[in-house]
Amino acid sequence: MADKQLTNRPHPRCLIWGFSADAVNTIAAMFPESRVITRLGEVHQLDWDVLVAAGQNVGGAELHLFVIVYGDGVLRGQAGESVLMRGYRRAWGLGGAISQAQDFKTFTDIPASFDALVTSDLLPAVREEHTHSALYSYRTFGEEVGSGPVPTAVTDVTPLLVGSDGGIIAATFERSPGVQCLTLPPDASMAWITAAINEWHKIAPKVFPQTADWTSHALAWLTPDEIQAAIAFREASAARKESEVRADAAWEAFASARQAATKGMWRLLTEGGEPLEEAITAALRDLGFTVRVMDGEWPKGQRFEDLRVTCGERDGWEAIVEIKGYTRSRGKAEDITNLVARFGKNFRRMEKRDPSAYWYIVNHDLATHPEERKPILEGSDFDLATLADNDGLAIDSVDLYRLWLDSRMGRIGLEEARAELVAATGRFVHAWIQRQAAAETD
């Protein structure tokens, strides 16, 4: 079956990585389409033609990409191979990354546009510096077992500017057949990008269908309507790219917050066992209660209540708390019997007084959306009444989440939230739910 291409984006398409906003605008103006990235994994690299990077490790860029690198980083190779780098010292103490030359040379057979920029752009800058980042190469591990990285000769590059000490300051090399990389000092000018496009047009005309030279004169030949349309298009493209960057950043922030919630308070809605206990403990502490986790305090083989909770506004007030997570059950009578009779008796034996309250906190019907879950202990009126008669409170973890959320959003004060829980008996219904019901009735 023959395929049918549905898009026809113009070439060359450029990825921009590691530059300031001003530099990004300059680079983007040289290409019909560009995108700013913060890592190579953000895009499907086969959709792009050129990578222009500043101070980044581009060794992992796919081999169809033409690459221009300003500054230091990995240029070629990965672990287990001969790695080409630029001015990038590691803890291994490998030499050759820095040139201290003050005399320099170039070569007669390099492209004329590159030769002109070596003289006008690179040479004045390096003459003012005492040290220069240079290319060097190493093999990841030596032949002996346990040996570290071994420096090797820099090979398979075409030098553009070389110091008297042999340090290669600028160079090109072939990333794959017919695909080039240009490596430059960090302060080289953007004119190198134009020169590279012109040279690469000769070897890859499909990727670089035009030279860059004509673009600087194009506006002189456009009609007024064309000029206005071109300006509007460029402004709209820049706005779209800026919007995409903001949208990507916002999505990453949301994804990070979602992951944190899944491992945090969402466990009140989704988990049982220890993760649920941890989330309930954190929620009660966020509400300002003092929480004592009891599981680690009981003698081996004996288990009583999960938590003991005190409240700063109520001197001597202390609740004992049993936590359960059920896939289907909305709470069990034996849990309440254990809490009130067995756990309460043990508390009286230890503390010589009754607990101030019995809290039974349950996350139930875990596969059901929280808004569609039935109330805790629904259909178990006798058990609920027994709990209430003993100053007990059945708390659905969904309602605890709502109370916690309202406190975090500033819709209820922490002292008011604590008072809601401390004063309630029977089945806990957060005041927010009562207000919602009243509003719907009105």
Q: What is the pLDDT of residues 320-365, one digit of tens each?
A: 999 999 988 888 889 988 999 999 999 999 999 999 999 999 999 8
Cα separation, 187 vs 313, in Å, equals 64
Q: Kindly report the average pLDDT of the chain as a whole number.
A: 85
pLDDT of residue 378: 85
Q: What is the pLDDT of residues 400-432, one digit of tens each?
A: 999 999 999 888 999 999 999 999 999 998 876
Largest CA distance in the chain: 98
Model confidence at 77, in pLDDT bands (50, 70, 90)? confident
State which fold the 13-218 domain adopts: Rossmann fold (3.40.50)
Cα separation, 160 vs 111, in Å, equals 9
Q: Supply 137's token pair.
A: 């190469």
Per-domain residue ranges for the chain? Answer: 13-218, 222-255, 267-441
Check pLDDT > 60 for residue 91. no
Phi/psi for 226 (5° steps) reads -65, -40
Q: What angle do CA 20, 26, 28 make, to 5 degrees?
A: 95
Q: 78 vs 399, which has greater pLDDT? A: 399
Cα separation, 64 vs 46, in Å, equals 8
Give me the percent of the chain exceeding a pLDDT of 70.
86
Q: How many CB atoms lie within 10 A of CB 434?
A: 10
Q: How many CB atoms lie within 10 A of CB 157?
A: 19
Residue with tokens 């209430």, as numbered in its chain: 388
Residue with tokens 């959709």, as numbered in its chain: 47
pLDDT of residue 214: 45
Check pLDDT > 70 for residue 25. yes
Model confidence at 303, in pLDDT bands (50, 70, 90)? confident
Check pLDDT > 50 for residue 235. yes
Q: Supply 295's token pair.
A: 């599981």
Burial class (CB in 10 A: 0-12, 13-18, 19+), 96: buried
| Helix runs in 178-272, H state only | 191-203, 224-262, 267-270
Contact 325, 276 (CB under 8 A): yes
Q: What is the pLDDT of residues 137-170, one digit of tens each?
A: 887 655 544 456 677 788 889 999 999 888 899 9
Average pLDDT of 55-71?
93
Check pLDDT > 50 for residue 108. yes
Check pLDDT > 60 for residue 437. no
pLDDT of residue 143: 52
Model confidence at 43, in pLDDT bands (50, 70, 90)? very high
